[in-house]
Chains A and B, each alone.
Chain A
Amino acid sequence: MTTITARNIVIEALNAASIPELSSNKGIIEFSSGVGDIKISSLELDSLAKMEFCIYIEIHYGVSIVPDRLDEFETLSRLASHIQDILDD
């Protein structure tokens, strides 16, 4: 799995979590093309959004992530790498 694919999975899941104005977020656009990164804390995800994000990843890709531990990844690129590592195993 490529890094870009893993990053796009993260964006898919953020869309599923109904994060507002995601599509117009310049940082997201750069992130999806493989450059730039975004701090997870800057997205201000509430507990519901985190739950929906993690459910999406689990149900579509079989990767289990605890919603309360999302912030520990700090950035979306680290989160994408984590997903990529699991799926590549």
Chain B
Amino acid sequence: MTLIEKLRNFRKVIPDIQALVSINESICYRDLSDIVAAGAATLYQHGIKPNDCVGLIVADELEHILASLSLLALGTRQITLPSHDSSDKHRDLILRSQVRFIVTDQLDVNNNLNLDLNYISWSRTNFLPINRSLRFTEGMLLISTSGTTSNSNIVPFTETQISDQAERHFDYSHERLLRLSSVEFNASKRHRLYSLWNGGTNVFRPNGGLQEIISHAISQEVTCIDVSRMHVSEICSIPNIKMLSGIKVRTGGTEVPMVLRNEFSSMVPGSLYVRYASTETGAISMAGPNDHNIEGSCGKPLPGVKVEIVNDFGETLPSNSIGEIRVQAKGMATNYLDNQEQTTRRFRDGWFYPGDNGCIQTDGNLIVYGRKDDMIILNGINIFPFEIEHVLEMHPDVDYAIALALPSTIHGQIPVAAVQLKPGSKVGLEELMNYSREKLALKCPRRILITEALPRNGQGKLLRREAQSFFMQKKI
């Protein structure tokens, strides 16, 4: 059943359950389906037709979701153009996706892109009556990848694929979900849609700092807060962290080192969930509160997801062997929109290769070691960046660390690192070098740079390429 069909069903089955809750408004499932139908009819009257490609520039989270659902109901292809992104970024996505319409809540959006586009204002006050005789084809989401380790790709998903992904998150049906990152970030948007597919409640964050957001979450009886790794660190510093007891805190990926997981879990036991996912597949596995026992642990694969570890020849490796991760999942993407080379490289024989190294333990737990391309090879010695990063981050004065490979014609690659210290820390380079040498021996970084802030994207993810450039500039 597609998302739009689900919403029509929920109109009758769970009419009074809150679907979307913002500071100013609460929309239950009874009204949501009608609003979406009216939105679709209105956009249709403005000239948007099924299969048209539409760019969405809507910063208000609740309105963004409504606009997105309306576009799905209309059978369009839509792509989010985050309001915080540059014109150049917008232009790139618009041209690659062949966008013809822009739906926006921003009255001052000018056509400074010099492109032939139709701008349509999104405003529920201008909605036309619902036309229930209108029936459209399935819509499509075009999702741009974050591009943290390579240039951004565009991944097309049909509504059916989104629904198949949503099925993995059946627990969302009774969750009241708050996400710290905006729906204009694709991962955040998808989980909002997963929540709706499962009949859950989406609570949108207020403006303000972490403390205000958590207070709001508690007042709204939020059951699950989704945060970035950076937020997990921040949460550990707030004085009344214990008020999070009973609320699940979910975060993503291998960037959550054990020292941080242990610190968080000691303060708020039984709360932390760490997810491994990719844009192309959706969520792959989840480490629950009892799974944080080994560095890189990402739990067992979710229902409907198959994970294997393979060698360079594509041969499946036995348990506890380190190799490349590949994933098969219902609803996963099958290609990139406009990158045949990457499609051929990443989508092979029905599997998707995220480009990460890992292993599957005997108990089925997936351990992710990091990007295959990020592996540092120093005179034949394989070094995973996370090995260096986690040791450095265990130092009491280090907040974040990123390990990088400096190319060398003689040694292959030389491991180095950039660190961001905790506020007020005064640890010296020599101490850090001695510490890492003692812990890592041959795998230690041969140079460490201390920086005020490591480069990150809007979602808080560390940007390895930018860090590499930064290091190269500072090297000599």
Contacts and interface: CB of A to CB of B under 8 A. Distances in A.
Interface of A: 48, 51-52, 54-56, 58-62, 64-67
B475 interface: yes
A56 B410 contact: no
Contacts of A56: 446
Contacts of B409: 64
Contacts of B442: 48
| Residue from B409, B410, B447 whose CB has the most chain A CB atoms within 10 Å | B410
B348 interface: no
A58 B447 contact: no
List the 5 shortest-distance A-B pairs measured between CB atoms, nearest first: A62-B476, A59-B447, A55-B446, A59-B446, A64-B410
Nearest to B406: A59
8 contacts: A48-B442, A51-B379, A52-B446, A54-B410, A55-B414, A56-B446, A59-B406, A66-B410
Interface of B: 379, 406, 408-411, 414, 416, 442, 446-447, 475-476
Contact of B408 (A48, A52, A60, A64): A64
A66 B416 CA distance: 19
Nearest to A60: B447
B411 A51 contact: yes
B444 to A, nearest CB: 10
Contacts of A60: 447, 476
B410 A59 contact: no
B440 to A, nearest CB: 13
Given A64-B408, A64-B409, A58 B379 contact: no
Nearest to B445: A59
A2 B455 CA distance: 38
B411 A55 contact: yes
| Residue from A52, A55, A66 whose CB has the most chain B CB atoms within 10 Å | A55
A67 B476 CA distance: 21
A59 B379 CA distance: 15
A55 B442 CA distance: 12
Given A54-B411, A59-B475, 16 more contacts: A48-B442, A52-B446, A54-B410, A55-B408, A55-B414, A58-B414, A59-B406, A59-B414, A59-B446, A59-B447, A62-B475, A62-B476, A64-B408, A65-B410, A66-B410, A67-B410
Contacts of A64: 408-410
A70 B379 CA distance: 17
B222 to A, nearest CB: 48
A86 B307 CA distance: 51
Nearest to B409: A64
B408 A61 contact: no
A58 B406 CA distance: 10
A65 B411 CA distance: 10
A68 B156 CA distance: 52
A42 to B, nearest CB: 24
Nearest to B408: A58
A52 B411 CA distance: 10
B446 A61 contact: no
